[in-house]
Amino acid sequence: MTRKLYILNGSNLNMLGAREPHIYGTTTLKDIEQNCLALAEALKFDCVFRQTNSESQLIDWIQEAFLQDAALIINPAGFSFGRIPVLDAVKLIRRPVVELHITNIHRRTEEYRHSSISVAATAVICGAGANGYLLAMRAMDDLWGNQT
C-alpha cells in the first residue's frame, strides 16, 4: 500500500531564513523540504511538499489530499488564526492530520496563540523549530500505523 503524505505550508513560510530569523531561525523552506523528502523516502511515504501565500490555493491542495486519501502535515502559518475555510477543508481528511508550528505559539502574543486548525488535528507539534517537520513525519509514521 502506498502511503501518500501531503506537507502543506501557509503564508510567508517561503521567506524562512530571511524573515525574523531571531524567531524562526535561519533554515530555509527549501532546506526543510530536502530534509522532509529524504525522511519520506526512508519512512516509505509518497510525499508532496508545497507552500502557498494564497488561502484558496491551500484549500485546493487540502481537498486534493482528501481525494488522494492522503495524510496531512500542515503548517498553516497565518492561516491558523480564525480561518474557517481552511479548517473546513482540513476536516475532510480521513487519515491522520498533524498541525505544525515552528515556534511555540502558546508563548507568543495573544493573536498567535489560538489556532483554529487544532480542533481538526490528530496531533499538534509546536516550538521545535525546523526540526518540528521531521518530528511530525515520525509521529505521522506512528499514527498511520495505529489507525484503524
**Active-site residue, selected from the candidate residues 22, 101, 106, 114:** 101
Of the candidates 127, 148, 136, 147, the residue with the CA atom closest to the CA atom of residue 43: 136
Catalytic site includes residue 101: yes
Of the candidates 78, 73, 62, 72, the residue with the CA atom closest to the CA atom of residue 12: 78
Annotated ligand binding at 88? The verdict is yes
**Active-site residue, selected from the candidate residues 24, 106, 114, 133:** 24
Annotated ligand binding at 9? The verdict is no
Annotated ligand binding at 104? The verdict is no
Q: Tell me the one-letter amino acid at 132.
A: G
Strand order through the sheet with 45-51: 45-51, 3-9, 71-75, 97-101, 123-126
Residue 17 zone, left/alpha/beta (φ > 0; ψ -120 to 50; rest): left
Of the candidates 40, 10, 70, the residue with the CA atom closest to the CA atom of residue 136: 40
Question: Residue 71's beta-bridge partner residues?
Answer: 5
Annotated ligand binding at 75? The verdict is yes
Q: Which residues contact 131 (CB under 8 A, 6 or more apart)?
A: none
Q: Annotated catalytic sites, by residue?
A: 24, 101
* Binding-site positions for substrate: 75, 88, 102-103
* Binding-site positions: 75, 88, 102-103
